[in-house]
Structure 1
């Protein structure tokens, strides 16, 4: 059996199939759902960062006209959400996160009670009428506070505010390497708390299906099966009695790949009332009380020889994870990611790292696009920049001398890297900027007293973490594999059901391209179905750039299985053997005579309606199911970013003049989608480098309840971004694709920071923290005679 079908869809930037629906207002998001008799829910939230709840009085709430019900945790009797690692308690301390706070609140915005009313306006009146009293306790608002001797405990059941404390690798003799090194450089850097800011805030609509005896929850989540599992557990239901369906979703960026408390409470209220209940998170809650990320602090040093080759790396990582562990990734997600992957694209012979997660009285942390890799890349790139200055070397050349160039390469961190284009990406990035004349413009600007700088970052992005990779983190829930099912109907078209979940990545197009190529179908004949826990046995959704690598590979395998069934049936109907037929466009044909063929529609007619004509022993129908799981350490995309900035002395503003990205994600299924992912990620990386920061006052009150206070870049601040593609096919996935979802975000902060420092070179000032504030730049420029 062979396939002579031209492989024309993969690699083509075809028109996105989602766009007509979304651009003409036919998309259906959670807030577009309106059901007969539907009620609206919001939450009474804590107004203090840390305290004992001494009383919750909802009597006045229930008197508000239009309020139907108001419940505390005691009223709904829900279980806790507990994220666990299978680790000794000396390394990991689990935290139970109640769906609604009971006797203790641990951050401003923590949900205490749920109020349900007839419309979304009345429910706000009901919330305002609620009375909650507290015995206020001192809040813990930074990792330094959390680690200080005698600090208040965020969780009384814990003996300290450290939830995870791991020391890893510790190459033998590393101290002697540092002692004998020609040059040792040190970087101390920190990044602030950020919000992932999906365009669509979180939300859920729950209804009880009396006929099916099933709780149906429509919610915007990246991981519908995990929501189903946790909801069933918290509500004491069998999993088969909970169905989670995801409609169109306006972004997630990792914030929606964990299970939230509110959607569980909405389901519980629906069960109690037996009426549809809808909750839509408002922007204030989304900014201040939703899952946040990124607050990390690093103290790292690196040893180099006289030729600029790195000899050793030693780092201490502290991550402020907020009040609770997120499910299922736990508080370990950021320090474990940072510790395991810090060496990145460089040949580091000796390595030692300590990673800690601490708990504070702030909203909990969830994964956010890149998960610690923007920080570790920033640390590594700053170390190389600093070493280049100390050794009087070109910053691009010192990178060249240390980049991994022979593959597969097993690093000092025990991770095996598959083939990539690390050196080639950097070379091309530098070449583009040189050919565009930016180095000459920089020299001219310096002669004119202006401040232009050029900065780079080199990095890899581990994509498609399989079960083996996640198992190393010893999580109680081990993501990895995914399942796809493909079913041909009587028209000869197919429906593909996948366990991945699109929230803007164009799965309806890219997964259809994979299936269409494998089967010889027109793209219009492929329908992608996702986000329904009753359609796929289990799936781990979309995060960590896994959809193309794992989900796409499962689709490819399922399509190949269906192709085999079509070939077998076609050979039977053509009165020949399977070895003598091949797939043609929409049909099975004889290899030696293409005029002798049978269409897919005719094959389906036999498979479904004329089963007596099937080969002996063949089952009716044309369906296939396949799984895929990346083996070993996964696969690695890579990129190099080059940035040109100008610093404006009058305002301290950082203006990005040019941004070049050279990326390699293996085989690009849809190059335009890859570019969109890179540009969107770079925009978020620039936001972290220059603008975004969640801050708190001394009482733990977030000071960013609106976009007036939380600065988000617009199109005016994001430059035109040039994308150049290299292609190193992956040997471990079906079709050679690697992931591309997070790379832009990973590389941008380091490249921007390095370009700013290059512009500041003649001031003698170096910056290591983000975001880079105009006031900081202004202060750095002032000593060289620039007026403030």
Structure 2
């Protein structure tokens, strides 16, 4: 097949997003837009205490509330549990069953106990007020120290010291001697705040029974429709064929929606019982307090360096507070396993030891929020390099330059093989840009005026395109990885593409179409993507871990190539030549030796569908290409360097970001503008974690942030313009040369911001290692400096 010329290719061009005309004119269709005849509305009776035995749930008064149609407990609906497992011994992993509706015990404020179904949303809320739940309170466990304390109350009897995961994946021989002999040993003790992924669209579902198809249909905003189907079928005792999951337009997910939630299963059970459509839309209070959370982690890490600033060893202890339960299918291991496996990152670390633990506390459970531990461990490792540079008298960029991986493929001490990237090149370009823009001179001038400017960097890689092999190495019982695609042409020569990935803002309708259009030589308008329907798509793992273009896009390209082969076979048979003597392009198949001789796709489709008697006996009617794709190596690695310039304001402790730069390499960028959108959105979320967002709890396990007055979300005023520079190291392991780009912005931003803040504090004697960085911490550090100056 002859590809389009470079000038005509769609891949690599910032073509306009095909989704935008629909979404920007209010013609998108989201879960809350769905209205079915006879539809009822559901809300959940939720626990008001963090830890207790449930002695009674009385819904009798609820059922008397005007407008309430029904109210159910787990016993009423016969609901089972959602259980996610790792194939590890109990010394390393303790499985925990998460009931769809809590029965005899509650483990966090907001845990669902019962579902109330009413004629409208207001009556459902009124019904909640009439519910009476009796508790026998238990002592809550609200932090790491309480969870791991001797004799602490146990959330799950099978989990000693409230530990769900305890793994030591790597322990290089002789590492203690390495640290004992090292000229420079630095230490960072860092904690990161618990966050909410905060998609614009909260979770929700509309469930109804289809008598004709004998199917329970769930229309829900999920990143993993096939996994929702599997769990719903199991919990409700149905064949998987009897459950269909469809995903309409979705307003963000960020990992929060790549796990199976309890509420959508309970709403489906109510619809099945009542044989009427049931809608549940999560309100913002529940989204902030009772939905899946992430990021509350503690790192105690040492690094050894030689006198020239080359790293000799890394020794880490990681504790991740995963809340009350394991999520499905990733389990509570998702954060500590990610941190343990990938912490060496872009640096040549010769010796490594790590212990990773997941603890359970009386908080909402954790899902794999965008970046999954990488923003945290990158921040810690980058702090180690900053600290070592200071102690050794080295430039902080130079010490990184001496340690980044430059020879590829590179197999790290963690056993992971990194494919070629531009780690050194990205660092050099980022620093050069900062210098050319004059920020070091501006910093010196500000210091002379008594102002506090800081410049911070972060270097990192983003492992993308995790295949089945990579997930199997984590010993997941449910092993994600592959993706399937079908490309089908109709009689007009237009094609329909299916993918098992699921867009929640990543522009799949555009980028997947670019891939197919280039492969077949079609106009972009001739390609339509279908996603998020378990009846139309054979199987799929959905969207997470930056896998959509790397894995899903590769499957789409292969399926388009298979369709192209069939088109060529039909044309070749008509001409009496071998298929190898033909090529696809510009909406037709033509002969290589006589390009003027061609058959349009419409003509070939007419033969394939309407004149099948003209087909050779070895060619079946129809025009369909199918393919599967998996990654059997260690994945693909995008990389980037970020730089951040901040000014600290003494009076308020405010951190103002003056400049933000990103030099990224995601291989072949299918659509550069889409990549830049991913970078900017990710950086905004990374800045949010560095400076603003945190879910906190009081001593009784009550969440403090129930609205945006308490949960500090940055606005456009706090997020700077981001300058993005692209490098391109094509990937050898994907069909398009692309690597993932979905999480990199979030991964690099906290480290860059924290390093910039510490650079601005360099004369105060204070270093900050925790996020979010509070105005109080900055104000106190600057005030300390003023106090010291006045006492001299």
Question: Do both proteins adopt the same fold according to a TM-score greater than 0.5, normalized to the shorter chain?
Answer: yes
Unaligned runs of at least 5 residues, structure 2: none
Q: Trace 1:440-479 onto structure 2 (pairs within 5 A).
A: 440-479=441-480
Shift of 1:101: 0.2
Counterpart contact for 1:562–1:624, Cα < 8 Å? yes
SS of 1:59 mapped into structure 2: coil
Q: How far 1:568 sits from its partner (Å)?
A: 1.1
Say whether the 8 Å CA contact 1:2–1:579 is kept in structure 2: no
For 1:282-321, list aligned pairs within 5 A. 282-321=283-322
Aligned residue in 1 for 2:593: 592
Which residue of structure 1 lines up, in the alignment, with residue 140 of structure 2?
139
Aligned to 1:695: 696
The 3-state SS of whatever aligns with 2:652 is: coil
The Cα shift of 1:155 comes to 1.3
Q: Cα distance, 1:729 vs. partner?
A: 0.2
Match of 1:63 in 2: 64
| 1:640-679 map, 5 Å | 640-679=641-680
SS of residue paired to 2:14: coil
User: Structure 1 residues 285, 619: CA separation in 2 closer, same or farther (over 3 Å shift)?
Assistant: same
TM-score normalized with structure 2 length = 0.99
Give 3-state SS (helix, strand or coil) of 2:232's partner.
helix
Partner deviation per Cα, 1:609-666 (whole Å, 9 max, x = no partner): 1111112311100001100001110000000000000000111100000000000000
For residues 761-785 of structure 1, give each alpha carbon's deviation from its aligned partner in whole angstroms, at most 9, with x where no partner exists.
Answer: 0111100000001111000001221
In the aligned structure 2, how far is the partner of 1:703 from the partner of 1:472?
Answer: 38
Answering whether residue 20 of structure 2 is matched by residue 19 of structure 1, we say yes
User: 1:288-308 CA deviation, whole Å, 9 max, x = no partner?
Assistant: 000000000000000000000
Q: Is the 8 A contact 1:384 1:398 kept in 2?
A: yes
| Distance in 2 of aligned mates of 1:603 and 1:643 | 56
User: Is contact 1:254–1:543 with CA below 8 Å preserved after alignment?
Assistant: yes
- Counterpart of 2:92 in 1: which secondary structure? coil
In structure 2, distance between residues paired with 1:159 and 1:645: 44
Q: Which residue of 2 aligns with 1:46?
A: 47
In the alignment, which residue of structure 2 is the partner of 1:167? 168
Instruction: Name 1:785's counterpart in structure 2.
Output: 786
Superimposed CA distance per residue, residues 228-272 of structure 1 (whole angstroms, 9 cap, x where no aligned partner): 000000001100000000000000000000000000001100110
Give per-residue Cα distances to partners, 1:532-560, cap 9 Å, x unaligned. Answer: 00111210000000000000000000001
Alpha-carbon offset, residue 577 of structure 1: 2.5
Counterpart for residue 231 of structure 1:
232
How far 1:2 moved relative to its partner? 4.8
SS in 1 for 2:298: strand
CA distance in 2 between partners of 1:4 and 1:254 (Å): 36
CA distance in 1, matches of 2:169, 2:158: 27
User: Partners in 1 of 2:767 and 2:389 — Cα distance?
Assistant: 13
- Give the match for residue 266 of structure 1: 267
Change (3 A) 1:317 1:620: same
Residue 98 (structure 2) aligns with: 97
In structure 2, C-alpha distance between the alignment counterparts of 1:563 and 1:643, rounded to whole Å: 47
User: Which residue of 2 is the match for residue 711 of structure 1?
Assistant: 712
User: 1: CA distance between counterparts of 2:376 and 2:410?
Assistant: 23
How far residue 5 of structure 1 moved from its aligned partner, in angstroms, is 6.5
Corresponding residue SS for 1:503: coil
**What residue number does 1:746 align with?**
747
1:28 aligns with 29
Distance in 2 (CA, whole Å) between partners of 1:490 and 1:233 is 40
1:717-762 CA distance string (max 9 Å, x none): 0001000000000000001000000000000000000000000001
Deviates further, 401-410 or 157-166: 157-166
Distance in 2 between the 1:229 and 1:616 partners?
A: 39
Aligned-partner SS, 1:160: helix
Distance of 1:276 and 1:371 partners within structure 2: 36
For 1:535, the equivalent position in structure 2 comes to 536
Query: Number of residue pairs matched?
Result: 788
Gapped runs of 5+ residues in structure 1?
none
Alpha-carbon shift at residue 144 of structure 1 (Å):
1.2
User: CA shift at 1:589, angstroms?
Assistant: 1.1
The question of whether the paired residues in 2 share the 8 Å contact of 1:639 and 1:661 is answered with: yes
Which position in structure 2 is the counterpart of 1:551?
Answer: 552
Alignment partner, residue 188 of structure 2: 187
What is the RMSD of the two structures over their aligned residues, measured on CA atoms?
1.0
Rounded to whole Å, the distance in 2 between the matches of 1:133 and 1:687 is: 39
Shift of 1:706: 0.3
1:4 Cα offset (Å): 5.9
Q: Does the residue aligned with 2:91 lie in a helix, a strand or coil?
A: coil
Structure 1 contact 86–475 (Cα < 8 Å) conserved: yes
Deviation string 1:365-422 (CA, Å, 9 cap, x unpaired) is 0000000000010010000000000001000000000000000000000000000000
The 5-angstrom pairing of residues 95-494 of structure 1 reads 95-494=96-495
Displacement of 1:674 after TM fit? 0.1
Q: Distance in 2 between matches of 1:2 and 1:159?
A: 62
CA distance in 2, matches of 1:262, 1:687: 28
Displacement of 1:523 after TM fit? 0.2
Residue 631 of structure 2 is matched in structure 1 by 630
* CA-to-aligned-CA distance 1:309-335 (integer Å, 9 cap, x gap): 000000000000000000000000000
Q: Indicate if the aligned counterparts of 2:182 and 2:305 stay in contact, CA closer than 8 A.
A: yes
8 Å CA contact 1:466, 1:634 repeated in 2: yes
Corresponding residue SS for 1:166: strand
TM-score (norm 1): 0.99
- Give the distance between the partners of 1:596 and 1:577, measured in 2 at CA: 15
Q: Is the 2:150–2:161 contact (alpha carbons within 8 Å) kept by the matching residues of 1?
A: no
1:497 maps to: 498
Q: CA deviation at 1:591?
A: 1.8
Q: Is the 1:464–1:739 Cα contact (8 Å) retained in structure 2?
A: yes
Cα separation, 1, equivalents of 2:359 and 2:188: 21
Q: Secondary structure at the match of 2:339?
A: helix
- Aligned mates of 2:221, 2:55 — CA distance in 1: 34
Secondary structure in structure 1 of the residue aligned to 2:251: coil
| Alpha-carbon offset, residue 507 of structure 1 | 0.1
**What secondary structure does 1:761 align onto?**
coil
Query: Per-residue CA shift, 1:34-91, capped at 9, x if unaligned?
Result: 0000000000000000000011111110000110000001000111000000000010
- The separation in 2 between residues aligned to 1:5 and 1:352, in whole angstroms, is 50
The whole-number CA distance in structure 2 between the counterparts of 1:557 and 1:475 is 28
TM-aligned CA deviation for residue 3 of structure 1: 5.1
